[in-house]
Amino acid sequence: MKNTGRIATLLHPEARRIVFNDSLHAAAKENLPHYAEMDRAQAVMLAETGYLHTDFAMKIIRQLDELEVTDFRSIAAHPAPRGEYLAYEDALRELLGNTVSNLHLGRSRNDLSATLLKLKLRKPFRALASEVIQLVETLIDKARDNLETPLPLHTHRQPAVPSTLAHHCAGFATCLLRDLDAILALAPSLNTSCLGAGCGGGTTIAIRPKRTAELLGFATPVGNSIDAVASRDLVLRLLSALSILSNNLGRISETLLGWLGDAGLASLPDALVGSSSAMPHKRNAFLLEQVQGKSGVVTGVLMSALCASQASPFTNCVAVGTEASGQVWHGVETTRQALVLTRLCIDGLEVNQDAAFAMMMDRYVNAMEAANKLVEAGANDFRSAHAEIGQLVTQAEAVPKTELLSTRKAANLPVLERARADLTPSAIILAASHGGGPAPDAVTATLDALTAALTGCGKQVSALSTGWDHAQKQLSEAIAKLNIHASSQHA
């Protein structure tokens, strides 16, 4: 369409190359199938409400089916000087006549674009949630297999207290489950249809937005037409959740890189490390560095979306609907990749138990428990005990390879001698069952709770998928019923 009646010429060619894609080949793959699905639902609804003749509604639907079978190749060959939607509509008018534009009754590109975003988000949203579930499952499995595998807990990048691989994995999983909850909390927004809001003012046409919503698998139509076309906070909230998730993945990666570093606390198999081009001895855990980098990228994507939409009026805006919303695909895919890489590294991780135990013995991770024993025996208050044990550590460090309880000062503390068996890292781990500590029974209880919660999350994702799949069946049944009605009119 060159002359719209109001605008006599096409957009300036240079501007057109920037804001429109003259080729519809990408749209034919990414967007036109969704436009066709919305048009099928719209045709059914308009026929049911009497705004479209049943015969013509079926003619439209059959034409859309034929176009989809050929991947919209005939439409992809059309130029798109006024954007993909008007090019798509122009192609339909060439095939079916001008009356096909009555499909646009009660709607606008504004509500179509808002609904298109949600339809396109379904598959990546489901894939993203599934990847988080897989990662948490991997962490739970790794933890159950390593309930007593020693691994010191570090604070300020120093060995601090005895812990286990299971304890760490349970901590990672607990954190990531909250991230999954934040993602799934967006499902109601994703499952709200914007169709019917038109350009933002609703419509005087007695359409049935609830009907098109159910035929497209949405739980409900939007309640306010301005909000429907103005808001893309779904994108901002999703990117915010993904930014936090990616930040957590980056922190987990940094922790793993610490274990894989000079101390040699853990290792990855050959399939998960890279080589150096110059140094033959290197085994680079670069996949975890990729995760760290991707974490920053996702945060940058969120900032881009926020900045693109800031100070925009609360109505349909290109800055929000196109520029800000367009950031979401890169953010979602980058996060998905980070989840996969993290899962692979967790699954392949092996702890060097000898190195872990040696580090705990050499770095006095039993010092805090020694102070606890002095307090429990009534020998000291905690701060005095803290100072007493600090002096033991200083004395032990003066003689290489000297254990805490082998110092001269320790010999003058009979409480510690009596508690010697309880001050090994293994004994401390087994006893630390309070406050979410590393004791196997405490970690197992956490893992059981995580498993139950994860099962609930999996059911939420399945319910979403079932609803979307059921809608396709509903739409097919509605079309079949419409076809029967059209045929009966000719009988």
Same domain membership, residue 62 and residue 31 = yes
pTM over 0.85, yes/no? yes
For the chain, the 3-state helix, strand and coil shares in percent, each to the nearest 5, are 70, 5, 25
User: Which candidate, 144, 341, 334, 353, places its Cα nearest to that of 257?
Assistant: 341
Q: Which residues pair with 150 in a beta bridge?
A: 164
Same domain membership, residue 100 and residue 118 = no
Question: Is residue 23 pLDDT above 80, yes or no?
Answer: no
The DSSP code for 10 is P
The H or E element that residue 149 is part of is: none
Same domain membership, residue 118 and residue 214 = yes
Kindly state whether residue 160 falls inside one of the protein's structural domains. Answer: no
Same domain membership, residue 182 and residue 87 = no
Same domain membership, residue 339 and residue 204 = yes
Total Cβ atoms within 10 A of residue 261: 11
Same domain membership, residue 262 and residue 116 = yes
Helices of type H across 279-326: 286-309, 318
Q: Specify the higher pLDDT residue, 469 or 78.
A: 469
Same domain membership, residue 298 and residue 400 = no
Kindly state whether residue 275 falls inside one of the protein's structural domains. Answer: yes
What whole-number distance in Å separates Cα of residue 328 and Cα of residue 183? Answer: 14
Kindly state whether residue 4 falls inside one of the protein's structural domains. Answer: no
pLDDT digits (tens, 9 = 90+) for 421-440: 999 999 999 999 999 999 99
DSSP 401-437: T--GGGSHHHHT-HHHHHTGGGGSHHHHHHH--STT-
- CB 100 within 8 Å of CB 59: no
Task: Provide the token pair at 397.
Answer: 């460090």
pLDDT digits (tens, 9 = 90+) for 85-124: 888 999 999 999 999 999 999 999 999 999 999 999 999 9
pLDDT for 59 equals 97
Q: What are phi and psi of 280, to 5 degrees?
A: -60, -25
Question: Is residue 404 pLDDT above 90, yes or no?
Answer: no
The H or E element that residue 111 is part of is: helix 109-144
Same domain membership, residue 86 and residue 116 = no
- CB 288 within 8 Å of CB 294: no
Question: Residue 37's domain spans which residues?
Answer: 13-105
Same domain membership, residue 282 and residue 237 = yes
Same domain membership, residue 344 and residue 237 = yes
Same domain membership, residue 239 and residue 137 = yes
Same domain membership, residue 288 and residue 142 = yes
What whole-number distance in Å separates Cα of residue 329 and Cα of residue 327? Answer: 6
Task: Provide the greatest CA pair distance for the chain.
Answer: 107
What whole-number distance in Å separates Cα of residue 404 and Cα of residue 392? Answer: 6
Taking residues 245-259, what's their average pLDDT?
98
Q: Specify the higher pLDDT residue, 19 or 349.
A: 349
Q: Which residue has the tokens 């207290």?
A: 161
